[in-house]
Amino acid sequence: MNTYIRILPIILKPLPLLLNNTMKMNKHLNVKHLLWLCSTFLVLQFSITSCKEVIANETFYTFTGEMVTDYLQNRSEKFSDFIEVLQRAEIYDLLSTYGTYTCFAPTNTAMNSYLQSRGLTSVSQMTRSECDTLAYSHLIKVTYFTTDMNDGVISTTNMNDRYLSLTCDTSKDDQKNVRYLINMNSQIINRDDSVENGVVHTINHVLTSSNDLLPTILEKNPTITLFCQAMKLTGLDVLTSKYMDPTYSCSNDSVELGILYHTGNEWETGYFMKARKFMYTAFVETDSVFAQKQNIRTIAELKAYAKSVYDLTYPKDAGLYDQDWTNRKNPLNRFIAYHFLDRLGNYYGLTISGDVKRLMQVSSVMDATDTYETMCPHTVVQVSYPSDGLYLNRTRIGAKFPVRGVKIAPSDSLALNGVYHYIDDILTYSPETKDVVFNCRFRFDATTLSSDFMSSGARGRAGTATCTAFKDGAVKDWSFSDKTFVSVRNRHTEFDSYQGDEVVLLGQYDFTFKLPPVPEGTYEIRLGYCAMSTRGVIQTIFERRSIGSWIKSPCGIPLDLRVNALNNAIGWVTDASNKETNMANDKAMHNRGYMKGPDSIMKNGNPSFRNSSATFRCILTTRYLSADEDNYLHIRQVLDNPKAEFAFDYIELCPKSVYDNGEDTH
């Protein structure tokens, strides 16, 4: 019985939220759901008063009555310095009260190393402000056990409003245990110690974060002077210096209570961002990489190298902007801009990793891959994850890599508004990149189609019912009507969705988003989705901004997202043992405007999407996409049903050179 009493507060916690949202948005929760909710709690009450303890005691942690402060104080020989930091920050008393906290507690040894690195001998020499920053950097107002976290960014910011990253190092330590690292270099040496108000993880290295903007933290690094000289000369330091959006605001109810909604088979809550932040990612060559790879040692030599590459990529612009360093068509400007993304991209957040990669990516046929628009206009960079780490602009044919690409070093160097990563070779948007590497089918997860989905921490969040909702005007490259509710779902390996997450659109939705830029050519534009009875019917319109005016063209008849691919109009059939038969079926399906799902995607380790009649692709339209114009898709719900949903999963842009020449099934 005691076990049930302990978990009762956790189970009862959502009740006020459910009731609040019922009053705010009764269209999402009807009387039937309220009756179900009440009956559930009546059953729970009965279970608590009449149950017998039938689960072995060793299965659960037995609480000792310790709060976070008690845990630290009872081990003061190990944590006395961190205790002093918490006391000077005047947060110590808060950690002695009930709540839900994750505390990453540095040992005295870790604190001594930190103090010595700053030329200090004791915590008493730190300022109050420094103690505040250090204390808040080690605390999260949500309880996270290591079993709750996967490789990547922890989904809730610390109390210093920064995201922390978790890495599971499978190389193991001396005791053959998997090592857990926070921000790459702070190892959890004692994990998952439960306390009454959360959990304590002991770490061997102090967590630090800079209050400098990304350009400043780059300029302070003595190993990347050439990159920084070029960054300042081209004005990219100014372009990457934004942080907070001063025009954004959101009510406390929307931030703290969120909006309860139903999608598929789940009830979820979308919490709106408290603040909108501009974040950036840089891929940076050290001076030694420039010297080793191209014998570049001066800014003049770097300018000459950039010109030699980009004059070939953009022959029409050759020689026109060579001295106009801040012009976006200048070769050096293009070179440096191609190294930046206008979004947060921590190492394990640039594509799927950990359990999501293991359970959802069929790595034997295709690497986990994501493609992003860079800050060099109308260009993209591709991130792939083979077994030995992350690469940029890498091609794969079977087990071979004819274009190796540029490898990213596994380190997150964090700034206030972003992160930078070292790379082991020179990154360019060269003719080989454009014509060889990017002569491919592009698959864009919906959660990558706006930088705000990533900079807010919405993409890849863990959990079951906590999602991130967005206001119109706070989603770059998107616009939507006031009747449209937009939420990015948390990632789940058991969902029928590419990479385990989706952008959910509800209401009488009507929205427009920009397609990522791709090399010039004719493309099939495809929608990958999971058909369900709760979905809507959508009309898609292709739009292009050309010379100050809009060109708009409907993409065929409306698409019914409720119809399973077994429908005769689609023609899905189970794969046969004969390859030629399968190819004939694929061709017949393609002629009807549909394709099976990829065989490189699976759900929770189960057979691939290709083997499911619910997960497939629709060819929305075939269009010629130019290299210097922005293209958009406008999607609106035409079914008169505000509860019908659109679980936006992924978009494909496939060039004619691929789909006309034996496109693979991956």
Tens of pLDDT along 188-202? 999 999 999 999 999
Same domain, 459 and 432: no
Question: How confident is the model at residue 57, as a pLDDT?
Answer: 32
> Cα separations (Å) of 549 from 543, 544, 629?
10, 8, 11
Do 416 and 493 fall within a single domain? no
* Residue 154 burial class via C-beta count within 10 angstroms: exposed 0-12, middle 13-18, buried 19 and up: buried
All residue ranges of the chain with pLDDT < 70 are 1-64, 169-176, 398-399, 462-465
Question: Is residue 251 domain-resident?
Answer: no
Q: What's 449's domain CATH number?
A: 2.60.120
Based on the fold, state whether residues 322 and 422 are members of the same structural domain: yes
Residues 387 and 422 placed together within one structural domain of the fold: yes
Domain assignment of residue 216, yes or no: no
> Does residue 651 sit within a domain?
yes
Alpha carbon distance 17, 234 (integer Å): 50
| pLDDT for residue 348 | 87
Beta pairing class for 478-480 and 259-263: unpaired
Q: Is residue 464 domain-resident? A: yes
The CATH number covering residue 143 comes to 2.30.180.10
Length of the chain measured in residues: 666
Nearest Cα residue to 653 out of 663, 643, 642: 663
Supply the pLDDT for residue 154: 80
**Residue 368's closest CA among 359, 378, 377?**
359
User: How many domains, the chain?
Assistant: 4
Q: What is the pLDDT of residue 354?
A: 83
Annotate 343-370 with three-state secondary structure. Answer: CCCCHHHCCCCHHHHHHHECCCCCCEEE
Element housing 307 (H / E): helix 299-313
Domain finish residue from 203, 228, 251 = 203
The pLDDT value recorded for residue 23 is 40
Residues 6+ apart with CB under 8 A from 62: none
* Structural domain ending residue among the three candidates 58, 78, 98: 58
Q: Which structural domain range is residue 89 located in? A: 68-203
The half-sphere exposure of 401 on its side-chain side, counting CA atoms within 13 A, is: 17
The predicted pLDDT at position 47 comes to 39
> What is the distance between the alpha carbons of residues 263 and 506, in angstroms, rounded to a whole number?
8
Q: Is the same domain home to 544 and 626? A: yes
510 and 634 share a domain? yes
Q: What is the pLDDT of residue 456?
A: 92
3 state DSSP class of 581: helix
- C-alpha angle with apex 273: 267 to 277, nearest 5 degrees? 145
Is residue 565 located within the same domain as residue 548? yes
635 domain-assigned: yes
Together in a domain, 82 and 172: yes
Tell me if 299 is assigned to some domain: yes
Does 175 fall in a domain? yes
The verdict on 52 and 110 lying in the same domain is no
Neighbours of 103 (CB within 10 A): 26
**CATH assignment at residue 372:** 2.30.180
**Structural contact between residues 326 and 333, judged by C-beta atoms closer than 8 angstroms:** yes
**48's tokens:** 């608590």
Do 398 and 342 lie in a common domain? yes
Tokens of 505: 């659109």
Residue 396 lies in a domain: yes
Task: Assess whether 543 and 584 both reside in one domain.
Answer: yes
Q: Quick check: 252 and 190 in contact, CB under 8 A? A: no
Q: Are residues 72 and 138 in the same domain?
A: yes
Would you list the DSSP string of 225-266?
HHHHHHHHHHTHHHHT---B-TT----HIIIII-EEEEETTE
Please give the model's pTM, rounded to 2 decimal places.
0.84
Q: Which of 187, 203, 219 delimits the end of a domain?
A: 203
Q: Cα–Cα distance between 402 and 389 in angstroms, integer?
A: 17
